[in-house]
Amino acid sequence: MKQLEQFFSIETEYDKKHKLNTCNKQVPLEYLTSIENGCSIEQLEEMMRKKFDFFKDKTQITIHGIFPELSTNRVGWYVNLTQNKNKSIGVRYTAIDHNKKKRLFEFLSKVSEWRVQENSTLYCIGKMQVLPNDWEKNRDKVLEIVRKYEAEAKKIDKNLFVGNVSCYVAQGLFHNYMCLDVNICCFYEKNFEKLFENLSGMTLEDGKKKYAAIKAEEKRKNDELDAKWRKEAEERKLREEEERKEAEERINKLISENPAPESYFKRENYQPQVGDNICRLYFDKYSKTYKWVELTCKKYFGKLKEKPVDKDFDNYWCKPISTNWVYVKTV
């Protein structure tokens, strides 16, 4: 959604930016491949410890070192990696802690009011509230929501993660919304429990119990729905079988009372061939009657076509009855 107005953005502490590349060691290609495939902040720090300088910036993690055969094209192979002007490697936060964030975000979205937001550049949790149509004039209502979100943002412990908390107005398809986003770029596994409790307002143990209860209720509803669909499918199958038998009996009775023209004989499971003269039973939707239609089998553009012998035959209202048999003319 398009951001219309920002009210606040509270950022965690970031490392100081460095204009110069502080390390002249080469970065092994396998490190970058491993990072691109997705890794945790712990794994990244383990790879970089005592080998390269490592900084958590506002938009990325920067690895200072020399990339082998350093070139923009080479780094360009990696969606989550960028090459900075000082030849250091920038790792976008989308490559860091994705699995860990997914566990936390999905957990929170089940047991609290937080909702997951994800696109190609952002993966975070947030809340939103619909604004009145005259929100630009009705500032009292807007500021009331801002104060509520600001109080909530101040309670979030920024020492547990790297990222920011922001509040802004966004334009949706039909409404405008006041949004509160918690953009967690990365966090340590040891802080998972504290971060969950801080954001949810409940203990991890209570959260697990609530999560289990919600999942159990979802399973119960899904099982009920599956049972309902299976029952409906079985009933539908029985109805279709009964209708098929009734139609078969009706057609057999019709054939006995109104047989096919002379010299045509019934063939079960027969595949008509080029040059065959056949006769099929048609249903006239307009007059609600059945009739026999004589056809010739010819090949048109490589495909077998059944063409009525009667050139004035109206195939708009008359359609063939689907059967596993056909009447074939014998010489």
Q: 294: buried, middle or exposed (CB in 10 Å: 19+, 13-18, 0-12)?
A: middle
Looking at residue 14, its pLDDT comes to 77
Any idea what DSSP says for residue 260? P
- Strand partners of residue 125: 116, 182
pLDDT > 70? residue 63: yes
Confidence of residue 75 (pLDDT cuts 50, 70, 90): very low
- Rounded CA-CA distance 209/202 in Å is 11
Q: Where are the domains of the chain?
A: 13-95, 98-210, 212-256, 264-329
Sequence-distant (6+) residues with CB within 8 A of 241 are none
Which SS3 state, helix, strand or coil, does residue 259 take?
coil
- Rounded CA-CA distance 241/123 in Å is 51
**Which H or E run contains 169?**
strand 162-171
If one compares 73 and 173, the residue with the highest pLDDT of the two is: 173
Contact 175, 131 (CB under 8 A): yes
- Rounded CA-CA distance 65/258 in Å is 91
Contact 85, 58 (CB under 8 A): no
Looking at residue 44, its pLDDT comes to 83
Contact 48, 32 (CB under 8 A): no
If one compares 68 and 273, the residue with the highest pLDDT of the two is: 273
| Helical segments of the chain, H only | 29-36, 41-48, 72-76, 98-111, 139-154, 192-200, 204-257
pLDDT > 80? residue 185: yes
pLDDT > 70? residue 73: no
If one compares 208 and 47, the residue with the highest pLDDT of the two is: 208
Confidence of residue 133 (pLDDT cuts 50, 70, 90): confident
pLDDT > 70? residue 125: yes
pLDDT > 50? residue 72: no
Looking at residue 209, its pLDDT comes to 96
Looking at residue 79, its pLDDT comes to 67
Looking at residue 266, its pLDDT comes to 93
- Rounded CA-CA distance 316/319 in Å is 8
Mean pLDDT, the chain, as a whole number?
87
Mean pLDDT of 56-82: 66
If one compares 210 and 96, the residue with the highest pLDDT of the two is: 210
Mean pLDDT of 25-40: 78
Which residue carries 């922001």 as its tokens? 166
- Rounded CA-CA distance 265/251 in Å is 16
Phi/psi of residue 255, nearest 5 degrees: -65, -40
Sequence-distant (6+) residues with CB within 8 A of 76 are none
- Rounded CA-CA distance 214/220 in Å is 10
* Angle CA 173–179–183, to nearest 5: 115
Sequence-distant (6+) residues with CB within 8 A of 309 are 277, 294, 295, 296
Number of H helices, E strands in the chain: 7, 15
Mean pLDDT of 47-73: 71
Looking at residue 50, its pLDDT comes to 63
- Rounded CA-CA distance 75/62 in Å is 14
Confidence of residue 56 (pLDDT cuts 50, 70, 90): confident
Looking at residue 74, its pLDDT comes to 39
Mean pLDDT of 163-189: 92
Contact 255, 279 (CB under 8 A): no
Say what the pTM is: 0.69
Mean pLDDT of 170-176: 89
Ranges 71-85, 203-217, 283-297: which has the least confidence: 71-85
Tokens (6 digits) for 155: 């309670």
Contact 319, 283 (CB under 8 A): yes
Q: How far apart are the first and last CA of the chain?
A: 74
Confidence of residue 101 (pLDDT cuts 50, 70, 90): very high
Looking at residue 145, its pLDDT comes to 92
Looking at residue 37, its pLDDT comes to 74
pLDDT > 50? residue 165: yes
- Rounded CA-CA distance 142/153 in Å is 16
Looking at residue 71, its pLDDT comes to 45
Ranges 26-40, 133-147, 196-210, 214-228: which has the least confidence: 26-40
